[in-house]
Structure 1
Amino acid sequence: MNEKNKILVIGSANTDMVISAGHFPKPGETLIGYDFMTNHGGKGANQAVAAARLGGDTAFICKLGDDSFGHSIMEMLRKEGIDVSYSSVSDQASSGVALICTIPSGENSIIIDSGTNGLLSPDDVMAAEPLFAEAAVMLMQLETPIDTVIKAAELGKKHGACVILNPAPAPTGPLPEALLRNVDLLIPNETEAESISGVNIQTDEDVAKAMDEIQKLGVKNVIITVGCKGVYARINGKLVKVPAFKVKAVDTTAAGDTFCGALCVSLCKGNNLEEAILFANKASSISVTRRGAQMSMPYLNEVNV
């Protein structure tokens, strides 16, 4: 990494409303659930909180609604020590909301209303260029408009940041070349990697093929997360599998976001990619043992034990 150490996250912020059930409801089925809770979420905010709790100097750019959800999220971000000087509030839509159902296996089903996340614009990103000039690592997802993500990647590259894209939720069409050419590291899960590469992933050889296809699109480096099976990366030209830590999963809602935030923190500390993956795996393994999104994310002292 360069001499800068700020982590800049651009993306979504939601309020999650979570309810547990014995199984996912079938069409037309009404279930009696339990353990309802609300939690701050959104992939961008999740990743920013994960990085901040693990010791990263973190800034976050988002757009919130002028409503109780938006004001609560802004207050939370500030309490987490995150720089939100270029995040903004709009009265043109409500804040983003996610409805989440979790089942005993730890799996979840999510429906999102993007709200003001859909209003985060390239102009908002351009206005925050001073933050890009300070960033060592820039992290993005796909819960905000693609033109905004493209502009953020361009600015990150212009200012010498390591540009990281977590392509979630899985894209329904090809990702623009204008975006991928400025991405230094792509972090998809299996589903997202299959969507982007067109490769059905069943074996290690399929993982390697998917990485090859993704890199042909212009991405420099690829990490593929495969849940409880661990993480695949190509390090010094060799495909490496870094196993996951064995834990009993309770709720996997923010595991991928915790992984991404933790990876950024470790890279900013000068660790190599394999060391960063190990640190990120440990952080995400802690998060799945707890319910909720941000409330499940560990602090640095919990990971460094």
Structure 2
Amino acid sequence: MSKKILCMGAINIDLTMYASCIPKPGETVVTDNFSTFPGGKGGNQAATIGKLGGNVAFFTKMGNDSFSNQLKENLKDSGVDISPIIVNAGLTSGIAMIMVDANAQNSIMFTPGGNAYLSIDDICQYEDLFSEYDILEITLEINPDVAYEAIRIAHRHDMTVVLDPSPMPITGIPDRIASMIDYIKPNEIEAELLAGIQVKDEESARKSLDSLIKKGFKHPILTVGSRGLYTYNDGTLITLRPYPVTAIDTTAAGDIFLGAFTVSLAQEKTFLECLEYAIAAASLSVTKKGAQTSIPTKEEINVLLA
């Protein structure tokens, strides 16, 4: 039986435009398109887990505006239990404004809306919720101190903790929190902020991973965009590359990677199997536009893996 997953992080509406290039300061670029997608790293990860058959719930604070209601319905349709969400009538949803260029690279501005109002008091008040789940998947889009309290409570309840350290706090992550995290997935920018090592090649990736392990992170997974990832498997450094696909939008690839990884973890697959499933899911996601709309199906992933 699959383990139960509790997701925490931001959920928001993505207002997206596709253009030949991302504007420079002071520049105007005209496009002929505009799309609205459900997004937010936490929401993307939860929706990925739900669509891939995981037993998942989402915990945050939201408003009751039209965007918030749309986001909740989308999570529900994706197979996510939304009952833990705290609704505050005076709040709005989070909103991200996303520009995607011809090379499928993106630039994002984000206002958190209700996500920012989830407090330590809320976490403590809902501590019993954590006892119902086996895995906590969490991002740092919510207030880092709130996220750290959630990690402490998860650790107290013997949950496996999976962290997406984005956006990385300037002060880094406290060592006492690092020791409570089972899996962390920094990209090369976040890894440099955490470990103080610029990742350029395999040797610098090894040094970065070693530094993260020394800080207390048990299983760091260092993602490097189109070059794939570096991590240790049973003490051996491994590299996994994405599948060769035609990318049109990379917006949620990292979120879909982590959601697919976590749903595999809940199914008690080996670490390497979890990584292979996740990189297949992320590879497929960049061939579709949007965030949650780019989540592949189980069948699509299995065909690619085969």
Whole-angstrom CA distance in 2 between matches of 1:292 and 1:236: 36
Whole-angstrom CA distance in 2 between matches of 1:113 and 1:192: 20
Is this contact kept in 2: 1:171–1:192, CA < 8 A? no
The aligned runs of 1:18-29 (5 Å cut-off) are 18-29=16-27
Counterpart of 2:121 in structure 1 is 123
Counterpart of 1:215 in structure 2 is 213
Q: What is the CA deviation profile of residues 245-294 of structure 1, one whole-angstrom value per residue up to 9, with x for unaligned ones?
A: 11111000000000000000111111111110000000111110000000
Counterpart of 1:50 in structure 2 is 48
Which residue of 4, 11, 14 corresponds with 1:13?
11
Which residue of 38, 46, 52 corresponds with 2:36?
38
- Is 1:153 paired with 2:151? yes
Tell me by how many angstroms 1:225 deviates.
0.9
Whole-angstrom CA distance in 2 between matches of 1:21 and 1:158: 47
Counterpart of 2:171 in structure 1 is 173
Q: Which amino acid aligns with 1:157?
A: H
Whole-angstrom CA distance in 1 between matches of 2:146 and 2:169: 15
Counterpart of 1:72 in structure 2 is 70
Q: Which amino acid aligns with 1:139?
A: E
Which residue of 146, 162, 167 corresponds with 2:160?
162
Structure 1: unaligned runs, 5 residues or longer: none
Is this contact kept in 2: 1:12–1:63, CA < 8 A? no
Q: Which amino acid aligns with 1:287?
A: S
Which residue of 244, 247, 255 corresponds with 1:246?
244
SS of the residue 1:250 aligns to = coil
Whole-angstrom CA distance in 2 between matches of 1:20 and 1:201: 29
Whole-angstrom CA distance in 1 between matches of 2:168 and 2:187: 9
The aligned runs of 1:265-280 (5 Å cut-off) are 265-280=263-278
Q: What is the CA deviation profile of residues 167-201 of structure 1, one whole-angstrom value per residue up to 9, with x for unaligned ones?
A: 01233222123421211111111111111111011
Give the 3 Å change call, closer, same or farther, for CA 268–89 of structure 1 in structure 2.
same
Is this contact kept in 2: 1:150–1:178, CA < 8 A? no
Whole-angstrom CA distance in 2 between matches of 1:33 and 1:212: 45
The aligned runs of 1:286-301 (5 Å cut-off) are 286-301=284-299
Whole-angstrom CA distance in 2 between matches of 1:253 and 1:128: 32
Q: What is the CA deviation profile of residues 190-218 of structure 1, one whole-angstrom value per residue up to 9, with x for unaligned ones?
A: 11111111101111110111112122222
Q: What is the CA deviation profile of residues 83-140 of structure 1, one whole-angstrom value per residue up to 9, with x for unaligned ones?
A: 1111112234321100000011110000001111111112222333343223222111
Counterpart of 1:235 in structure 2 is 233
Is this contact kept in 1: 2:164–2:184, CA < 8 A? yes
What is the TM-score with the length of structure 1 in the denominator?
Answer: 0.96
SS of the residue 1:169 aligns to = coil
Is this contact kept in 2: 1:228–1:246, CA < 8 A? no
Tell me by how many angstroms 1:33 deviates.
1.4
Whole-angstrom CA distance in 1 between matches of 2:128 and 2:199: 41
Whole-angstrom CA distance in 2 between matches of 1:149 and 1:69: 24
Whole-angstrom CA distance in 2 between matches of 1:240 and 1:300: 25
Deviates more, 1:83-92 or 1:170-179: 170-179
Is this contact kept in 1: 2:50–2:79, CA < 8 A? yes
Tell me by how many angstroms 1:66 deviates.
2.3
Counterpart of 1:226 in structure 2 is 224
Whole-angstrom CA distance in 2 between matches of 1:108 and 1:185: 26
SS of the residue 1:75 aligns to = helix
What is the TM-score with the length of structure 2 in the denominator?
Answer: 0.95
Deviates more, 1:64-73 or 1:284-293: 64-73
Structure 2: unaligned runs, 5 residues or longer: none
SS of the residue 1:301 aligns to = helix
Tell me by how many angstroms 1:30 deviates.
1.0
- How many residue pairs align between the two structures? 303
Whole-angstrom CA distance in 1 between matches of 2:136 and 2:91: 27
Aligned-residue Cα RMSD (Å) equals 1.4
